[in-house]
Amino acid sequence: MKKRTLGGTGLDVSILGLGGFHLLEISTADARAILNRYLDAGGNYVETAPEYGYGESERKIGQSIATRRDEYVLATKTHLRDRDSSAQLIDQSLRHLQTDHVDILFMHHVQKAAELEQILSDDGALRAAEAAHEAGKTRFIGISNHGHPEIVLEALDRYPFDVVMCNFNYYDRFNFPLIEEELLPRLVKNNIGIVGMKVVGDGMLWRSAQQAFRYAWSLPIHIMVAGMNTLPLLEQDLAYADSFVPMSEGWYDRQMWDGIVRDPADYWLRNSLRFWFENQDRARAAYANLPVKADACTDCDECEARCPYGLPIASKLRHAHYKLTGGETLY
């Protein structure tokens, strides 16, 4: 499998990483088969978190591939924000993973300024990570973020993180443009390791999975982590990685809710993922400060006539204004 160097860490990592969240959904036997097949195929980045099933994902990984520990880069996380509980959690993770160290320890899903302040404080989680690094329990320290990159940009101003994990997909490119416009160039410039996630946008891009992987791998990221809970799904993603050829070239709810009534399964997926990044208040505040808002549309139809995709632009503007102002009626 193709490999890239994970920024300044110097670690050579496969472009397809195996995420541990979906190991919760399968038996230990099935997890063992998937993990070993992944390693046999040349994959070498395995990632998990104690928050995944209260340690179940970590235990399955430890039980399945601890004997092959020198064959893969291992990452786990701490979702706790203080030093003492994070230190205990790190030791618990090592026991579950049946190893004496991980290669990367992430500050998990740091979404808000208050969380960043907590982990950076004198008794914050970063102090536990630094102690773990000094003790040889982790080689590198990272931070992960789902959605808005402003927090990561601030974090990089205040601490020399070795690795950053963020969502990279062609859907959220337009919902969170700063990820590719500001965060990604900065990571590349400073030789920071870049781990991608959510390649199919939490499932919204499943119909074009291969194109989604190709898009993500064409960016200057080092790894794209994917959750694979069946052998056929693993084989499919391995095939995407083997055949990869580079391309030439909504804040509020990720545009999940557009007012169109669909089948129950699609409705459930959209409704459950629409506020995943918890950006509602931030989006409405930013919209309120815009000098020109979507309700300035005059329904002249000029933009729709020019749109090469035939999008109902006027309708979408009305819907956006409705959501971002908390309006009582859509029309």
Same domain, 152 and 272: no
Same domain, 184 and 221: yes
Examine the domain organization and report whether 110 and 226 are in the same domain: yes
Number of domains in the chain: 2
Distance CA 219, CA 139 (A): 26
- Choosing from 242, 277, 303, the residue where a domain stops is 242
92 inside domain? yes
Domain identity same for 225 and 291: no
- Whether 253 is covered by a domain: the verdict is no
pLDDT at residue 60, rounded to an integer = 98
Mean pLDDT (whole number) for 178-184:
95
Enter the tokens of residue 256.
């999940």
| Residue type present at position 145 | N
Q: How many helices and strands in the chain, by DSSP H and E?
A: 15, 10
Q: Which two tokens stand for residue 209?
A: 């999975």
**Domain contains 252:** no
Q: Residues 36-69: pLDDT tens digits?
A: 999 999 999 999 999 999 999 999 999 999 999 9
Among residues 67, 59, 118, 69, which one has the least CA distance to residue 92?
59
Torsion-angle region of 48 (φ positive above 0: left; ψ -120 to 50: alpha; else: beta): beta
Residue 295 has pLDDT above 90, yes or no: no
Give the model's pLDDT for residue 183.
97
Does a structural domain hold residue 256?
no
Residue 56: burial class (beta carbons within 10 Å; 0-12, 13-18, 19+): middle
Whole-number pLDDT of residue 249: 47
Neighbours of 131 (CB within 10 A): 15
pLDDT per position as a tens digit, 187-242 = 999 999 999 999 999 898 999 999 999 999 999 999 999 999 999 999 999 999 99
Residue 157 lies in a domain: yes
pLDDT digits (tens, 9 = 90+) for 159-168: 999 999 999 9
Residue 82 falls inside a structural domain: yes
Q: What is the pLDDT of residues 93-132, one digit of tens each?
A: 999 999 999 999 999 999 999 999 999 999 999 999 999 9
Question: Does 296 or 320 have the greater pLDDT score?
Answer: 296
Residues 205 and 74 both lie in one domain: yes
Q: Which domain holds residue 268?
A: 264-325
Give the whole-angstrom CA distance, residue 221 versus residue 38.
Answer: 20
pLDDT tens digits, residue range 125-160? 999 999 999 999 999 999 999 988 999 999 999 999
Q: Judge if 193 and 284 occupy the same domain.
A: no
In a domain, residue 125? The reply is: yes
Q: Which of 242, 276, 291 is the last residue of a domain?
A: 242
Q: Distances in Å between the alpha carbon of 303 and those of 153, 174, 310, 319?
A: 35, 19, 10, 16
pLDDT recorded at residue 51: 97
Instruction: Check whether residue 224 and residue 285 sit in a common domain.
Output: no
Looking at the DSSP assignment, which residues form a beta bridge with residue 227?
A: 19
Same domain? 228 vs 271: no
- The answer to whether residues 56 and 170 belong to one domain is yes
pLDDT of residue 276: 64
Q: Is residue 255 part of a domain?
A: no
Helices marked H in the chain: 28-40, 56-65, 83-97, 113-120, 125-134, 150-158, 172-175, 178, 184-189, 209-218, 231-242, 264-273, 280-288, 302-306, 313-325
Confidence grade of residue 250 (pLDDT, cut at 50, 70, 90): low
Return the H-helix or E-strand segment holding 138: strand 138-144
Residue 10: the pLDDT is 98
Domain identity same for 292 and 192: no
Q: Are 212 and 200 in contact (CB under 8 A)?
A: yes
pTM to 2 decimal places: 0.80
